[in-house]
Amino acid sequence: MKKLINYNILIAQKIGKIVEIDSEELEKYIEIPPQSEMGDFAFPCFKLAKQLKKSPIVIAKEIKEKIETDEYIEKIEEKSGYLNFYINTNKLAEEVFKEIDKKKEEYGKSDIGNGKTIIVEYSSPNIAKPFHIGHLRTTLIGNSLYKVYKFLGYNTIGINHLGDYGTQFGKMIEGYKLWGNEYNLEEDPINKMMEMYVRINELCKKDEKVLENCRENFRLLENGDKYCTELWERFKEISLKEFDKIYDILDVKFDSLKGEAFYQDKIQEVVDILEKKGKLIESEGAKIVNLEDEGIDTPCIIQKTDGSSIYATRDLAAILYRARTYDFDKCLYVVAYEQNLHFKQVFAVAKNIVDEKYYNGLIHVSYGMVALPTGKMSTRLGNVVKIEDLINETINKAKEIISEKNQNLENKDEVAKKVGIAAIVFNTLSTTTNRDQIFDWDTALNFQGETGPYIQYTYVRTKSVSEKLDKVPDLADIDFSLFKEDTAIKTIKTLYRFGEYIKTTADKNEPAILARYLIELAQNYNNFYNENKLLVDDEKLRNTRVYLSNSVGTVLKTGAELLGIKMPNKM
């Protein structure tokens, strides 16, 4: 089956035949010029200067003399050591629209991941604590990457590695022992558990004996104590019910909910492997792995002085289990940059646990923190912003804006929910992962800004154009030569690059790349819409412009869904 033309490959092959260099190597060097008047693609000949022992200007001139144009490339210019390629826009339009007509909402989809398995670990909240704004980025970044990898044909496994184990549960158990009769966990359970957690933390600061009791509770839990285990299971069940409410609203799904506790009985094998390889060292009663040879000054603790495990050990047990169970090619950990050292340590130790294929596939997708303008949060202090509150507030604000813009809109609550969620998702994903961000309602809900609602508004505009005709024009009714306006050509070129942007999003594990693409497409389309009347009397021209409009809507919807955004039909 014929695929959409890849201009990078085409150009690389043309150059490769002349300079007798492998086209796959040349393909890596092809660039998109910063300005359209410099061409659609550019090849920097200085990349070949050392290999060919000539100046870039001489190389460019020699290639220019021998290279040929064709039905896809209509002009080639040589300038300052660069070869600039200008594509045939009529042919490009034909290629793009034939592909969209054939693939519909699967335009941009790929099979490059066939036969490969990707694990994405994301969200991973701690049970018995609120699902707060600090969990927003891991949940939404991970959910988008999960969707993107699936779209590219990978066998994708989404894992919610629940924080359902550790010394904090020793504290929760102690708090319940002391004050359980004061808290009704059937009503507002997460908040009640958080109040208890904050209270026990304060007491631990004042009374070392209480802290020792907490540690003993966790030791008992690890050893299967009936009372501690039953109480822990109750905390977990209550928490998961509350978390599922949030996941349902955000349309986030997982293939596995195996949290830290699942790996508790698998830890001893990790300890045994490290012991056998002579990697474990006794240090002040604890067992550690020295990582100085890996360039890491801080050792990785494997077992604490009381013999209990630490979450690094459970992560190592998880890596061993996932390698055996899923035979993964990559395992992504979508976790905040505050855990950078932790993952450096764990990945370094993993070299002693699993084969090279697996430890080379371990990737920490690190991201910055998110906060409201009021500042950061701390669970220990009880100063948190719950995601549920943020979602409800955003949806309410979206409803107010929608009511002002369109009082007679049907299904206003449903539309407000889609717009509110889009505002949160896009605001979260449009910032590159390595940067901290502040969630601001005025920015996120701006229908004319670079926001989720703006993309939705543009999609609704494309729907409105199509609905004014009896039906969307057939591809056979389109005259590609009628795309003469710069705004139309720019929009078509942006449509062409959709699949490329999806692949780059996966290559860099960066949903912001796809988010920025959708803004660019929406802006280019709106410029085209504002400068040209679409429903003109001339039938051929009308069909051609409406077809472009409808194609933009198709791609906007597909791209938005890969971010985790649903499109309304009206706003």
Tokens standing for 302? 């494997």
User: Is residue 303 assigned to a domain?
Assistant: yes
Q: Are residues 220 and 280 located together in one domain of the fold? A: yes
Residues 431 and 501 occupy one common structural domain: yes
Same domain flag for 161 and 247: yes
Query: Is residue 259 located within the same domain as residue 403?
Result: no
Q: What is the pTM of this model?
A: 0.91
In the chain the first and final C-alpha atoms are separated, in Å, by: 39
Decide which of 339, 371, 403 is a domain's last residue: 371
> Is the residue at 279 inside a domain?
yes
User: Same structural domain for residues 330 and 398?
Assistant: no
* In a domain? residue 1: no
CATH label of the domain that carries residue 142: 3.40.50.620
Q: What is the pLDDT of residues 69-128, one digit of tens each?
A: 999 999 999 999 999 999 999 999 999 999 999 999 999 999 999 999 999 999 999 888
Instruction: State whether 213 and 311 are in the same domain.
Output: yes
Distance CA 554, CA 543 (A): 16
Query: Are both 37 and 76 inside the same structural domain?
Result: yes
Q: Is residue 102 part of a domain?
A: no
User: Is the separation of the CB atoms in 434 and 367 below 8 Å?
Assistant: yes
- Whether residues 266 and 393 share a domain: the answer is no
Residue 33: domain span: 7-87
Q: CA distances (Å), 306 to each of 163, 210, 212, 215, 267, in order?
A: 21, 16, 11, 9, 15
Whole-Å CA distances, 17 to 70, 133, 135, 505: 15, 55, 52, 31
Residues 6+ apart with CB under 8 A from 91: 71, 72, 480
pLDDT at 166: 78
Encode 31-57: b = buried (16+ Cβ within 10 Å), e = exposed: eeeeeeebbbbbbbbebbbeebeeebb
Regarding whether 128 and 46 lie in a shared domain, the answer is no
Task: Please tell me the total count of domains within the chain.
Answer: 3
CATH code for the domain of 83: 3.30.1360.70
Residue 521 to residues 450, 497, 503, Cα–Cα distance (Å): 11, 10, 17
Domain membership of residue 530 (yes or no) is yes
392 with 361, same domain: the answer is no
Confidence (pLDDT) at 380: 44
- Which residues of the chain, if any, have pLDDT below 50? 1, 376-382
Which of 32, 65, 87 is at the close of a domain? 87
Are 214 and 297 members of one domain? yes
Q: What is the pLDDT of residues 305-322, one digit of tens each?
A: 877 778 899 999 999 999
pLDDT of 489:
95
Task: Please indicate, yes or no, if residue 100 is contained in any of the structural domains.
Answer: no
Look at residue 70 in the predicted model and tell me its pLDDT: 93
Q: Which of 47, 39, 46 is nearest to 84 (CA)?
A: 39
Output the pLDDT for position 17: 94
Question: What does the block give as tokens for 319?
Answer: 């890596």
d(CA 336, CA 322): 21
376 within some domain: no
The partner residues of 84 in beta bridges, in order of sequence, read 42, 77
Last residue of a domain, one of 371, 402, 418: 371
CATH number, position 547: 1.10.730.10
Asked if the structure places residue 456 within a domain, the reply is: yes
Tell whether 367 and 391 lie within a shared domain: no
- The residues with which 330 forms a beta bridge, in sequence order, are 118
